[in-house]
């Protein structure tokens, strides 16, 4: 068996849920478990999140909702984007799963298959400019929902820049949603569930909490942005992922020898190297090699040469042996490698780092 796997600390997930539960008071907490719970395992994380106080689950795909239902998870599930009309039949068969809608075609398709009175959530695009209805269409679409026999359970939007605490655009988006709510109220339509806060807004903008918050990356103990790293640390959020492997091979190179493809690192002295059976197919972004490190024996060891699809080479000393544990993300001894550190160095975000822990990396809980 390959000596590479991801340890998932479910106690850390439960702890993080409890932290957010304490922040949001009476608001519902929707645990966002799309993309396999950001690489942590959707079924396992969902069970723990619900036990710890999450009242809803959020997914991106109808198939993801079906997986949770087939595993016996029965809390309300929100599919965060409007499914294709062809998917609405299967979705309607999943009890308690709410589709997001933002078009007449989507509304009509769900109404064709769903029992009368089935709830839906109407998404408004207030400035992210990705998906959603224009706020000026809220009353028209809400009327359509009612006309075809569905129930407008929720109205929501998604922030574009809430992870930047000083960005005022979140306030503009909130105002746009509130204006749409007033228009709906004037028309005699008042959805009981209103939500807009993602992890970042949940952490920093209590006035966005409303009926429900949707917490994704924070559940996994990773900050939404570098600007919120201190806030997450102060709250005691705990990274749940620990990605580890083992030393598979040791050898020495002499002065002037190059390492890995392109010989991008050249030895300026006789150097002891360890090869690890893990690569960019397993969440090590290729760009990480230039400044990246791994933990072996509780010490940071620098990566030498370009990371390849299946293997990574690091500089070590004579105290390292074949079979020694190497930690790529997470803790070992007194050392710790955070997801955010890898994201910063490689010019990406923690979300992407987590999402690239592929299916060939087994999870252990």
Residues with a catalytic annotation lie at 34, 261
Rounded to whole angstroms, how far apart are CA atoms 260 and 52?
A: 46
Asked if 222 and 350 touch (Cβ cutoff 8 Å), the reply is yes
Rounded to whole angstroms, how far apart are CA atoms 295 and 337?
A: 8
**SS3 label, residue 364:** strand
Asked if 282 and 357 touch (Cβ cutoff 8 Å), the reply is yes
Rounded to whole angstroms, how far apart are CA atoms 6 and 242?
A: 6
Handedness of CA 16, 18, 22, 24 (dihedral sign): positive
The helix (H) or strand (E) run that includes residue 62 is helix 62-70
Tracing tokens 């070590």 back to the chain, one arrives at 316
Handedness of CA 99, 101, 106, 110 (dihedral sign): positive
265 beta partners: 259
Asked if 260 and 305 touch (Cβ cutoff 8 Å), the reply is yes
Tracing tokens 């706020």 back to the chain, one arrives at 135
Handedness of CA 219, 281, 327, 233 (dihedral sign): negative
- Give the largest CA-CA distance in the chain: 79
């Amino acid at each position: 068996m390959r000596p590479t796997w991801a340890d998932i600390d479910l106690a850390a997930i439960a702890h993080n849920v409890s932290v957010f539960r304490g922040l949001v008071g009476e608001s519902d907490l929707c645990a966002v478990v799309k993309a396999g719970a950001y690489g942590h395992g959707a079924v396992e994380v969902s069970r723990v999140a619900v036990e710890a106080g999450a009242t809803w689950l959020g997914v991106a795909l109808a198939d993801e909702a079906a997986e949770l239902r087939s595993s016996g998870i029965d809390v309300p599930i929100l599919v965060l984007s409007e499914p294709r009309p062809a998917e609405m039949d299967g979705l309607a068969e999943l009890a308690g799963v709410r589709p997001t809608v933002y078009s007449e075609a989507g509304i009509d398709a769900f109404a064709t298959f769903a029992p009368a009175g089935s709830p839906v959530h109407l998404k408004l695009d207030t400035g992210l400019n990705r998906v959603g209805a224009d706020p000026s269409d809220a009353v028209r679409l809400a009327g359509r929902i009612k006309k075809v026999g569905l129930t407008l359970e929720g109205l929501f939007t998604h922030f574009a820049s809430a992870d930047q605490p000083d960005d005022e655009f979140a306030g503009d988006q909130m105002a746009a949603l509130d204006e749409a709510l007033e228009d709906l109220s004037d028309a005699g339509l008042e959805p009981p569930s209103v939500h807009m806060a993602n992890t970042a807004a949940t952490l920093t903008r209590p006035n966005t909490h409303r009926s429900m918050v949707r917490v994704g990356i924070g559940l996994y103990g990773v900050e939404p942005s570098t600007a919120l790293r201190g806030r997450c640390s102060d709250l005691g959020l705990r990274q749940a992922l620990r990605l580890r492997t083992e030393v598979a091979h040791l050898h020495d190179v002499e002065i002037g020898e190059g390492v890995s493809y392109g010989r991008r690192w050249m030895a300026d002295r006789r150097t002891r190297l360890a090869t690890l059976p893990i690569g960019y197919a397993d969440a090590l972004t290729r760009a990480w090699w230039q400044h990246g490190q791994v933990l072996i024996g509780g010490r940071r060891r620098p990566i030498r040469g370009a990371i390849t699809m299946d293997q990574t080479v690091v500089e070590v000393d004579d105290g390292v042996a074949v079979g020694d544990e190497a930690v790529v993300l997470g803790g070992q001894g007194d050392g710790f490698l955070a997801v955010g550190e890898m994201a910063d160095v490689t010019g990406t975000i923690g979300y992407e780092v987590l999402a690239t822990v592929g299916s060939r990396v087994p999870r252990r809980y």
